[in-house]
Amino acid sequence: MSSTAISKPNRRLPELTSAGLEATTAVTSYNEYNQAIEGSIAVERALTIYLDKREIVTLMTLGNHPELLILGWLRNQRLVDDIEAIKAIQVDWETESVAITTYAGIENLDTKLSHKTVTTGCGQGTVFGNLMEEIDKLSLQQPVLRQSAIYHLLNTLNEYNEVYKNAGAVHGCALCSEDLGIEQFIEDVGRHNAVDAIAGYMWLNDLGGSNKLFYTTGRLTSEMVIKIALMGIPVLLSRSGITRMGLDIAEKVGVTLIARAKGRHFLVYHGREFIEFDAVPEVKSVASSRGRGS
């Protein structure tokens, strides 16, 4: 197990310890012709969280960014409010566990853990506490997003998804901005894990979300919108669809919600007034779309 220490001037950050793991493994499968096909599949691992020696929950993950995942999970669950309260995060893949140690314990931990909701996230996400109370206080400021910037980001994202390209069975999430493009891209077996890992990256690097855009390959459920809103990110983009509750929360807190985004197609479900349509595709005629001889 390797050790990595991260420090910044005038900030006390947790010591992180982990080990590199393979995200995919080679396997042989057989097609409908009984022919052997060599390929890869994603490696899913259990990781049980212990907070100050108390078992909290078990996450299913690829394990390629465990420290960021745990930091973001703690942040998004609002179990820890200040990163400097965390003394260490120690990942042990032999026991499939992670131990988080704080300097002074977590105030009102029993109360925070008393309400647990199993969400619709792939691999089943878990939300602790009444996060809707925090959602009720949020009102995000909306930036104007250019249509051409959406197309540029979608095109750039095609260069990522390495695990998905090799093995499938995973979701990818990206932290983006118009100026910097793709700032961080993470894949995991559940989209909620990838979101939490990016939240951990933002927390660790003291990044705000007001000028960011968040991309996910997964559907935009209430859990996804809640997480992104709590991260302070005003724009959520997905290649998949949305749920009614996800839309309701986006409308409540002011998240621009864009789904079914692939190629030059997308659907804006909320926040259309903040989209600058500067790259409208040419409208194809009905006749040309049918082809010859129709």
Which residues are 126's β-sheet partners? 118
CB 150 within 8 A of CB 261: yes
Rounded to an integer, the average pLDDT of 262-275 is 90
Which residues are 101's β-sheet partners? 88
Q: Which residues lie closer than 8 Å to 141 by C-beta, 6 or more apart?
A: 210, 234, 254
Rounded to an integer, the average pLDDT of 109-122 is 62
Query: Judging by beta carbons within 10 Å of its beta carbon (0-12, 13-18, 19+), is residue 85 exposed, middle or buried?
Result: middle
Rounded to an integer, the average pLDDT of 270-281 is 90
Residue-level pLDDT at 149: 94
The ranges of the chain annotated as CATH 3.10.20.10 are 2-29+36-117
- Which fold would CATH assign to domain 2-29+36-117? Ubiquitin-like (UB roll) (3.10.20)
Mean pLDDT (the chain, rounded): 82
Q: Which residue has the higher pLDDT, 277 or 60?
A: 277
DSSP 84: G
Residue-level pLDDT at 238: 92
Q: Which residues lie closer than 8 Å to 184 by C-beta, 6 or more apart?
A: 174, 175, 198, 201
Matching CATH number, 145-276, of 3.90.1300.10, 3.40.50.1950, 3.40.50.1860, 3.40.140.10 = 3.40.140.10
% of the chain surpassing 70 pLDDT? 82
The Cα angle at residue 246 between residues 118 and 264, in degrees rounded to 5: 125
Residue-level pLDDT at 54: 92
Residue-level pLDDT at 199: 95
CB 191 within 8 A of CB 215: no
- Radius of gyration, alpha carbons of the chain: 21
pLDDT at residue 2 is higher than 50: no
Beginning with the edge strand found earlier in the chain, give each strand of the sheet holding 171-177 in spatial order. 181-188, 171-177, 213-216, 235-238, 256-262, 265-270
CB 216 within 8 A of CB 194: yes
**In Å, what is the CA distance from 99 to each residue of 48, 63, 71, 128?**
9, 15, 12, 18
Rounded to an integer, the average pLDDT of 244-269 is 89
- Pairwise CA distance, residues 31 & 11, whole Å: 55
pTM: 0.77
pLDDT class of 183 with cuts at 50, 70, 90:
very high
Rounded to an integer, the average pLDDT of 5-23 is 65
The ranges of the chain annotated as CATH 3.40.140.10 are 145-276
